[in-house]
Every structure is written in C-alpha cells, then in structure tokens.
Copies of this chain bind each other. A is one copy, B any other.
Amino acid sequence: MSIVTVDRPRGLAPPVESRPIDMALLGCGSVGSAVAALSATAAARPIRIVGALVRHPERPRPAAAPARLQFTRAAATLLDRRPDVVVEVLGSVEPARTIVRDALERGIPVVTANKSLLAACGDELAETAARTGVPLLYEASVLAGVPFLGALARRPHAAALSRLTGIVNGTSNFILSRMAADGEEADAALGEAQRRGLAEPDPRSDVDGIDAAEKLIVLLRHFAFGNASVRDLEITGIRRVQRLDFALAAELGGDIKPVISARRSDAGVDAFVGPALVPQAHPLARIAGVDNALQLRTAYGDLMYSGPGAGPVATATTILDDVVEAVSGTAPANIGGMRRGTVRIDAPATGWFVRLTASALPAGDEIADLLGAHGIWLRRTAERQGADRAAAGLLTHPCARERIERALAALDAAWRCEPFAIRALES
C-alpha cells in the first residue's frame, strides 16, 4: 500500500471561488487514472490531487495516469492532508471500507464507484454519512455514465417504484448479444470480449452474475426495497446459455438478456439476477452490446435510462460530477434509502423458458402431460431438429421455482433430456 502525492503549492490560499478542489484519490487503475486525467483537463472547477493511494505500486500505471504523481509509503497520512473530497475507486471491500468510514468520520465527503463496497457494507457507511451529515455519493456505481441515482434520490414521488428491471453488466450483454447475432458459443464470445478489453482476464464476477448482483443490492437499498446481501439473491450466471437457446427463444417471441429484476409484492420482494427470456416487445430486448439500461416502474408509467454502463471515461466523468456536488454544500448526506429494513425475499410464481435436448425427444403431448402432472402449463413451444440432436423450447405459464425444479428432474429422469430453465420476463 503506497500513496502517490503531488507537491502542494504553499503560500496564501487563493480566493475561495477560484480555490481548486483538493481531492484524495484511492485507486489509480483504469478508472482512477481517467479521473486524474479528466480532472486535469476537463474539470468544470479546478481540481488538485493531494494524494493517490494505490494497492499495487509495483504495477505499471495506465497511460492516462498523470506523470507528476509520486509515491509515498504512509497510508494513514492521506486523510491528514485534509482533502475536500475523497474519491474511492479501489474496488473490493478492504481497505476501502476502513478509509471511507474514517473519511466520513472526519467530515470529508466521499465519492465512490465501488459496488462491491456498497453491496457489502453500504448500509453501515450510509448510516455513518447520515449521522455525521457528510455526503457519500455513488452515482457511478450502477450505470457508470448514466446519471439517475442522485436525481431520483431528490425526487421521492417518482422514486416510489413497484419494480425495476435492467441490464447492468456490459460484458454479459456483449457476450449474449454476440451469441444471438453471430451464433457464437459462450466461450468464443467471451474470448472476443477479452481481446477487445471488454472482459477482465478473470471474468467470473461478470459472467457469474456477481457484478450485476452487487449493483442490484445497491439499487434495492437506494429505492428503499430494503437491505439485502448478495447471498440472499437468486443468481444465475450466463455460462450455461447455449447458442441454441437464442434460436428457440426467437421462435417463442423473445431474446435472451442478462437481467436484474426486483418486484415488490405483498409477500416481499422477488429479486433475481440471471439470463432471462425477454419478449421482443420489451424495451430491454433492444439493449445490445455493452450498453446498459434500467427500466423503473413508477405509479404513472415506466421510465427508462440507458447508455454507457462501463468504461473509464464514462465512469470518471460521473465521478467528477459527484465531486463537484459533494463539495457544493447542497448534496444530501444519505442520497438513498440505505438504512431501511431488511428485504424479505419472496419467490412468487413466474414464467420460465425451458430447453430440452436429447438424441430423440418424446412427442409434445407427452412433455405437456408430464408438466401438467406437476401443475405446469405451457404457453408456447418451439422445436429444432439437428443432425443428431433434437431440441425443444418451452415457455411456461407462471409457476413457483420449486415446482419447475421438480418437473425438470422428472423430465430428465424420463427422457435424459438435460433440461435447463431460466426466467421469462413479462412484456
């Protein structure tokens, strides 16, 4: 752990209006370097980096990192420099948690883009922010370049949501979009994403749904659904999706997208992360490539926010806007509903997309009869006959997860048809 510092000008303080914002930068990877570069060139107000902490000083800095930054070794001194604001883009929970908490306790506003931190202890940090009255802003943590969290935090009537549905992981969306458009299998599409710099060398957080789940936890708190942890959620990665599924889904009138969803009901909140069949008429069906989008159901209709949900410049731009707001004196200390009660996760009946494959499949009536015996009714079916494999796609009427799981086990026992099921969204 080291600190990167720049020389601070000495002498008389300039007049307040033109005084630069003193910023401490936690993390100087791709996003941190973009923050440093943008704050030197594009800032609406002058920004001065009074120290930059990096976790891996031995690693080469991205080209965007300012050359003038120098290392020191004393982590604890960073906040002693009394910055006007701390920008935290370290990623993962510690040491971010300790430093952010210390900053808030010392009265220093914090801007973070770190969804892992917020998912793990956003409730605790928001409580600290509310108690101390010090702003904790995190606009870049969910949709990177698309501002909406802060706006809706100030708009309680619009923000009373009954449902939110979105695509918040660009890597997964890129991979599934390639599979849909070019008939690639998941491994090939992931390889291409990695070659293009759209996926990490270790892509597990993206393709296994962890990144999306952390963002959903942030949204559940922000929109006062309640507190939850990633462990509480139903999370499915995209690895088991096959290119065959897109052909079957298209016949059933849909596409397959990497979705997050939360729906309030009297029984609790139905929240899940995973690939889902999305009807062609659904606005999310049109969000392709690395674009992200969030659909928010208000009492008067559906709002949709979409745009660049990742990328160093998009993220850094949002962070700089948070920085300006954090030091403005008008930022709310606790922009979300971070201290609400625990989410009661409920898993109500929902539609399912089921894929069956075998060297030979039984007649549709037989499949329908077996499902009917489990209380599951089919809305539509699709079939594909390959050279040596037959495949069927089933779109069910809503039924509970346990019911579909028991039925899948029965299908596999009867016909060795490797059943695979994902959720189907309503249009």
Asked if A301 contacts B157 (CB within 8 A), the reply is no
Assembled-state Cα–Cα distance A57/B125 (Å):
53
Centre residue among A151, A156, A302 by max chain B CB count within 10 A: A151
Asked if A301 contacts B308 (CB within 8 A), the reply is yes
One of A87-95, A141-149, A351-359, A383-391 contacting the partner: A141-149
Flag whether A154 is at the interface (Cβ < 8 A).
yes
Interface size on A, residues (CB 8 A): 41
Asked if A307 contacts B308 (CB within 8 A), the reply is no
One of A99-107, A319-327, A419-427 contacting the partner: A319-327
Known interface pairs A301-B308, A307-B303; A152-B145 also in contact (CB < 8 Å): no
Residues of A303-319 at the interface with B, using a CB-CB cut-off of 8 Å, are 303-308, 311, 313-314, 317-318
Assembled-state Cα–Cα distance A48/B412 (Å):
64
Q: In angstroms, how far is the closest chain B Cβ from the Cβ of A351? A: 23
Residues of B within 8 A of A304 (CB): 304-307
Residues of B within 8 A of A411 (CB): none
Q: Which residue of B lies closest to A308 (CB)?
A: B301
Asked if B145 contacts A300 (CB within 8 A), the reply is yes
Asked if B301 contacts A307 (CB within 8 A), the reply is yes
Asked if B158 contacts A147 (CB within 8 A), the reply is yes
Q: Which residue of B lies closest to A331 (CB)?
A: B330
Residues of B within 8 A of A321 (CB): 154-158
Q: Which residue of B lies closest to A311 (CB)?
A: B300
Q: Specify which of B155, B300, B320, B330 is in contact with A308 (CB 8 Å cutoff).
A: B300
Flag whether A299 is at the interface (Cβ < 8 A).
yes
Residues of B within 8 A of A302 (CB): 307-308
Residues of B within 8 A of A307 (CB): 301-304
Residues of B within 8 A of A313 (CB): 299-300
Q: Specify which of B148, B154, B286, B317 is in contact with A157 (CB 8 Å cutoff).
A: B317
Q: Specify which of B286, B298, B320, B330 is in contact with A283 (CB 8 Å cutoff).
A: B286
Flag whether A16 is at the interface (Cβ < 8 A).
no
Flag whether A42 is at the interface (Cβ < 8 A).
yes
Asked if B147 contacts A150 (CB within 8 A), the reply is no
17 pairs of residues in contact across A and B, judged by CB atoms under 8 Å: A42-B157, A43-B157, A145-B300, A145-B301, A145-B303, A146-B303, A150-B154, A154-B325, A155-B318, A155-B324, A157-B318, A283-B306, A299-B317, A300-B308, A303-B306, A303-B307, A304-B304
Since A146-B303, A148-B151, A154-B328 are in contact, a sample of 9 more A-B pairs with Cβ atoms closer than 8 Å, ordered by chain A residue number, is: A42-B299, A145-B303, A147-B303, A150-B155, A155-B324, A156-B324, A157-B321, A301-B314, A303-B305
Q: Which residues of A are at the interface with B, using a C-beta cutoff of 8 A?
A: 38, 42-44, 145-148, 150-152, 154-158, 283, 286, 298-308, 311, 313-314, 317-318, 320-321, 324-325, 328, 330, 332
